């Protein structure tokens, strides 16, 4: 079966990105994320129609990364589903070129940054999620703020199942990428604290297997973030550019980056750490001799 039941009327279609499904009594279904591309969207639609005998009428998007909303356009085209997305992130759904442009220092991204992992098809947004709860198809859904990995990432709690997006990444992903992408380190650390307080029976991360509790994986993700903080402070004992700092971090963690998407996901992540540490007074920034340099504060 492509669909796994997690609780009454709550299901998941496992894959590279886990797609949640809420099935109302009348067969009207809500998807939570749609995966990377047309193929993942078609898989979810087929599972809903053939295994749950339902039809998709709405999409809840956790955050504006192409691997989570890349199937939106296909689902909307085939079903007319209404799309719900968090404020700020919703702009990237409608104008997906913003994602690779933001990663590429705000400039027009090159072809190497325009693959489907970086650049999804545009998605309509019918409702911006700016409240703490949502009532849809007779489901009462609690919206959990989990920003940090994206500007305004959210999770959804329904019938005891917590769809927690990318607030935690599985050990296999951490082993592969070593330093996960972040928009805001401070927000991410606060969300890591918050996510462990969510009362639920089952946790569905955006990637990897479902969990009985988020705490061990939360602790692993938090420990890595805090270790990167220590390495950044260590490596800025002398003035260093963000690019040189990234190289040192990649070498330290044994992270192998061989393409533009891999590099430019981590390039702004370094700035997320530097910005946070500057706000704490632990590093300072200066422009000297045409260089942007960062130095730890003794």
- Per-residue pLDDT tens over the stretch 203-237: 999 999 999 999 999 999 999 999 999 999 999 99
Q: Band of the pLDDT at 175, cuts 50, 70, 90?
A: confident
Query: E strands along the chain, which residues?
Result: 4-7, 10-13, 19-23, 28-32, 55-60, 82-86, 127-129, 133-136, 139-145, 154-158, 161-165, 202-205, 283-288, 291-296
Average pLDDT over residues 156-177: 95
Asked whether the predicted pLDDT for residue 178 surpasses 90, the reply is no
Task: Please check the confidence at residue 292 and state whether its pLDDT lies above 80.
Answer: yes
pLDDT tens, position by position, 52-77? 999 999 999 999 999 999 999 999 99
Task: Report the C-alpha gap between 28 and 136 in whole angstroms.
Answer: 10
Half-sphere exposure of 156 (CA within 13 A, CB side): 27
% of the chain residues with pLDDT over 70: 100
Residues 73-102: tens digit of each pLDDT: 999 999 999 999 999 999 999 999 999 999
pLDDT for the residue 32: 98
Mean pLDDT of the chain: 97
The DSSP annotation for 2-46 comes to --EEEETTEEEE-SSS-EEEEE-TTSEEEEE--BSSHHHHHHHHH
Q: What is the pLDDT of residue 256?
A: 87
pLDDT tens-place string over residues 2-56: 999 999 999 999 999 999 999 999 999 999 999 999 999 999 999 999 999 999 9
Q: How high is the pLDDT of residue 61?
A: 98
Give the integer Cα–Cα distance in Å for 122 and 110.
Answer: 18
CATH of 231-296, one of 3.90.230.10, 1.10.10.10, 3.40.50.620, 3.90.650.10: 1.10.10.10
Domain 231-296 in the same topology as domain 4-225: no
- Can you name the CATH fold of 4-225? Metallo-beta-lactamase; Chain A (3.60.15)
Domain edges within the chain = 4-225, 231-296
pLDDT exceeds cutoff 80 at 1 = no
């Amino acid at each position: 079966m492509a669909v796994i039941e997690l609780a009454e009327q709550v299901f998941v279609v496992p894959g590279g990105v886990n797609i949640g499904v809420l099935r109302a009594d009348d067969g009207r279904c809500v998807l939570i994320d749609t995966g990377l591309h047309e193929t993942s969207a078609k898989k979810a639609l087929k599972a809903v129609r053939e295994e749950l005998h339902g039809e998709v009428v709405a999409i809840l998007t956790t955050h504006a990364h192409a691997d989570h909303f890349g199937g939106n356009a296909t689902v909307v085209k085939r079903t007319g589903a209404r799309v719900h997305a968090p404020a700020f992130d919703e702009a990237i759904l409608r104008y997906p070129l913003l994602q690779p442009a933001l990663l590429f220092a705000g400039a027009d991204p090159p072809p190497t940054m325009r693959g489907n992992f970086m650049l999804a098809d545009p998605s309509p947004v019918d409702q911006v999620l700016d409240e703490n709860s949502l009532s849809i198809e007779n489901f009462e859904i609690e919206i959990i703020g989990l920003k940090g990995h994206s500007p305004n990432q959210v999770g959804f709690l329904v019938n005891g199942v917590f769809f927690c997006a990318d607030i935690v990444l599985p050990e296999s992903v951490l082993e592969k990428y070593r330093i996960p992408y972040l928009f805001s380190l401070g927000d991410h650390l606060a969300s890591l604290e918050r996510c462990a307080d969510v009362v639920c029976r089952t946790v569905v991360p955006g990637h990897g297997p479902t969990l009985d509790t988020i705490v061990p994986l939360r602790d692993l993700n938090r420990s890595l973030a805090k270790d990167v903080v220590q390495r950044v402070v260590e490596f800025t004992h002398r003035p260093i550019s963000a690019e040189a700092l990234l190289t040192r971090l990649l070498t330290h963690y044994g992270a192998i980056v061989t393409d533009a998407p891999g590099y430019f996901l981590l390039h702004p992540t370094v700035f997320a750490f530097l910005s946070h540490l500057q706000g704490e007074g632990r590093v300072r920034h200066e422009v000297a001799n045409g260089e942007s340099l960062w130095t730890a504060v003794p």
